[in-house]
Chain A
Amino acid sequence: MTYDAVVVGIGVAGLTAALRLAEHGRRVLVVAKGVGSTHLAPGRLDILGYAAGGQRIERPAAALGAFLAERPDHPYARVGARTLSESAEWFRARLGYVGSADENFLLPTALGAVKPTAVVPPSAVGGDLRTGGRFLIVGLQGLKDFFPALCAANLQNAAPVRARAVELHPPLGGEHDVNGLGFAGRFEDEPFREAVVRELRITFAPGERVGFPAVLGLREAEGVWRELEERVRTRVFEIPTLPPSVPGIRMFESLRSALRAAGARIVVGDAVVRARTSGRRVEAVVAEAAGRTVEYSGESFVLATGGFASGGLELGSDGAARETVLGLPIAGLPPHGERFSPEYLGVQPFARAGLAVDERLRPLGEDGNVAYENLYAAGATLGGAEPWREASGEGISVATGFAAAEAIVQSTAR
């Protein structure tokens, strides 16, 4: 089948590029070897939380100029401030989120650390720590890896707030091993919510904001959260958990439904292993299907295959690195011995290795010129960023996915 655009990868960057292209009326295929990082991440848009020197940023859009002066190879430098803000606004409106590139919320993590984040679901906003106040952090017996006492104690150290913890014991029906998604399903049952509210009312003190692990429903999440706020009569908010991340799954499902509704085709389970090219054009990508390979041809292609962790980039045992579909060269790879620093969360030079692209997000070849005129790249496959130090991961994915789609629309105007 021939498409206007073929997007490889179904993480945030791939979903954004594909949906944006479909909104422009383009016939789009998304092909991915599996589901991306959406199910592991909190389902929020971190744009820029920390400067190159590590200082926390309150206003990402305003801080961008100074940041890029120190990080000239950053994907944001290719995209530009205006597209960054536009993409954030598009993402917000598409998902019914709150916020913008202008200002960061300061939200608690499951460990009670504070996290600057720009665009978030409405159910996260009540956790904003900038205004101080009193917090009640709620644990749920049986939910692993969420410890309300730890969260509350750390929060008191990290922010000018008072926080305490409680663990509730709603009935799990004899089951003992229920993950976050299992809890989300239970929150969609009225008797379960009733049990939660009844127990919560006993300990809740008026004036406290109540933080739950982010498992308050899946499909009916908005209704579940609003109902809890009404019944407890206070601000209720969600704190992201370890995987599976329920808010990430909600976001994925929402974007995927929008894609389907816009007429895009989605194939998950096919690993794209190479491309068929002709001169400076990509003609088709070749995927491993059952029994043989299949080709998906198109006018334009977006590589949103992720970084080293997702297999979009690969580091061989010989120390050489490459992009895995077209064998594109990787920029910014430090020499042996200088790739990693001993401090785990310190500056890791290796992390900034990735594809180098032109101002329209087309990867550069060995000669420094655009490798293929109709090939674009978005998301974690791009070099120049350290997303977890910068708190910029989804921001890069959305901004570059959005910008790649715009570049395709402009270069193939109807």
Chain B
Amino acid sequence: MSSVRETLDHCVKCTICETFCPYSKATPLFPGPKYVGPQAERFRGTEGSPDYSLDYCSGCGICTQVCPQGVKIAEINSQARAELWEERGIPLRNRIVARPSVTGALGTPVAPLANLTLRARPARWALERTLGIDRRAPLPRFAGRTFQAWARRRRGPQAASGTVAYFHGCSTNYYEPETGERVVELLEHNGFRVVVPRQGCCGLPLQSNGDFPAARRYASRLAATLDAAGEGAPIVSNSTSCSLMLKREALEILEVDDEALRRVSERTYDVCEFLLGLHERGELRTDFQPLPLTVPYHAPCQQRGHGIGKPALDLLALIPELRLVELDAACCGIAGTYGLKREKYEISMRVGEELFAQVRDAEPDLTACDSETCRWQITHGTGVPSVHPVELLHRAYGL
């Protein structure tokens, strides 16, 4: 029995998880984390899952965070979902959306055409009919270049007070290379040499889409790469979902038994966590110029799963004249690839509505959020551009 599954005996049926679950509020198809998690799990011995409702769990993990008894509700559901898909067979759509490193590599050389196609209504209609990717869902644009290519060409400053290894993730590489450039530049600005190993996907989308065997292969491969990079230096990441995969989920949910992954897990830092750590030791440069902007900040669910508080709030508070608003809505609704799916798009938008309303109420210039898919969803739901907190720090440094 897995260590995650053992926790279900601590469930006292208090319903606290149910009161926090944003998805069961948005759809009767998901009867809630307690029902689908610790309760149904008792019937999932050798027989498999008693029903399919757990596929409507988004894996946001809020239930686990709020549980006062330490039950790993989201993790139990994630493992059970993988077994469900193993029985039913994973649909082609899930296999495609779960491989951002493959789609990214395919789309990048033909970016103009791919972007045009993915924004053309007939193509989106066809995608919806053939694959079940909702035609309204926010898909990213291929940048047409990769962050890796930029990093290969880059010659950083000669003198450095320390080293970090940078885990940029797939989205930074193929869709938002400028975010990766900002991360490197502001780490260098603070005296670090930044090592960028060639790297693949962490396996999180595969885990979310129920393909554990493939997810384990990706996670182990990435762990081996990062383990060899930077000679034990901190591994810094701007994708809070992918770094959570390295810190915890691959070990706990996928149960990858791998010494390299364990070492990587302890070395991995979210970039804001890392920068705030520097600041606490008096090592962060604070030569910030004023940024007179109104910026609501949303901490994504997977960011909260790190258990490090919201370091972005304390970092951004260092920028003069920045009007920072902490948003407290639970979830944007996208949950990685959940909101892309035809049968889940409307649920996802209902979940996001509270957050979208809070954004609109703040009358913002920009919004800030650590996770890329959440940023795309927030922009999709509000029309307001959304950036990673490092973008604001980078601007305030005047780099």
Contacts and interface: CB of A to CB of B under 8 A. Distances in A.
A262 to B, nearest CB: 12
Interface string B49-66: 000000000000000111
A289 interface: yes
A299 to B, nearest CB: 15
Contact of B305 (A266, A269, A310): A269
Given A185-B25, A268-B65, A290-B248, A39 B308 contact: no
B324 to A, nearest CB: 11
B313 interface: yes
B223 interface: no
Contacts of B65: 34, 268-269
Given A185-B25, A269-B304, A291-B247, A35 B309 contact: no
Contacts of B67: 34-35
B389 to A, nearest CB: 16
B196 to A, nearest CB: 21
Contacts of B18: 179, 181, 244
Contact of B66 (A29, A269, A287): A269
A174 B29 CA distance: 12
Contact of A294 (B66, B246, B307, B310): B307
B307 A179 contact: no
Interface string A252-270: 0000110010000111111
A175 B307 CA distance: 35
Contacts of B308: 267, 289-290, 294
A34 B68 contact: yes
Contacts of A266: 309
A35 B268 contact: no
A40 B265 CA distance: 36
Nearest to A257: B328
Given A244-B15, A291-B268, A265 B313 contact: yes
Nearest to A37: B68
Contacts of B99: none
Interface in A288-335: 288-292, 294, 310-311
B14 A289 contact: no
A311 B306 contact: no
B271 to A, nearest CB: 15
A1 B276 contact: yes
A235 interface: no
B64 A269 contact: yes
B314 interface: yes
A64 interface: no
Contacts, number: 98
A177 interface: yes
B307 A34 contact: no
B70 interface: yes
A291 B19 contact: no
Contacts of A310: 68
B209 to A, nearest CB: 21
B62 to A, nearest CB: 9
Contact of B68 (A249, A290, A311): A311
B265 A291 contact: yes
Nearest to A291: B247
A52 interface: no
Nearest to B317: A263
Contact of A1 (B14, B16, B247, B309): B309
B266 interface: yes
Interface string A173-193: 011010101100100000000
Nearest to B305: A290
A35 B247 contact: no
Q: Which bracket fits the contact residues of A?
A: 35 or more
Nearest to B64: A269
Contacts of B244: 290
Nearest to A297: B280
Contacts of B103: none
Contacts of B307: 267, 269-270, 287-290, 294
A33 interface: yes
B39 interface: no
A243 B244 CA distance: 32
A341 interface: no
A312 to B, nearest CB: 10
A98 interface: no
Given A35-B20, A244-B19, A249-B19, A175 B306 contact: no
Interface in B257-315: 265-266, 268, 276, 280, 304-310, 313-314
A205 B10 CA distance: 48
Interface in A22-48: 29, 33-37, 39-40
B69 interface: yes
Contacts of A243: 14-16
A145 to B, nearest CB: 11
Contacts of B246: 291
Contacts of A166: none
Contacts of B14: 39-40, 243
B9 to A, nearest CB: 14
A36 B14 CA distance: 10
A161 interface: no
A1 B272 CA distance: 13
A265 B268 CA distance: 23
B38 to A, nearest CB: 14
B178 interface: no
B326 A291 contact: no
Interface in A234-291: 243-244, 249, 256-257, 260, 265-271, 287-291
Nearest to A265: B309
Contacts of A36: 68
A6 B326 CA distance: 20
B140 interface: no
A310 to B, nearest CB: 6
A29 B311 CA distance: 12
Interface string A148-189: 000000000000000000000000001101010110010000
Contacts of B68: 33-37, 310-311
A2 interface: yes
Given A1-B314, A268-B66, 5 more contacts: A34-B65, A243-B14, A243-B15, A266-B309, A290-B244
11 contacts: A34-B65, A34-B68, A34-B69, A39-B15, A177-B31, A185-B25, A265-B313, A267-B307, A268-B65, A292-B266, A311-B68
Interface of B: 14-16, 18-20, 25, 28, 31, 64-70, 244, 246-248, 265-266, 268, 276, 280, 304-310, 313-314, 326, 328
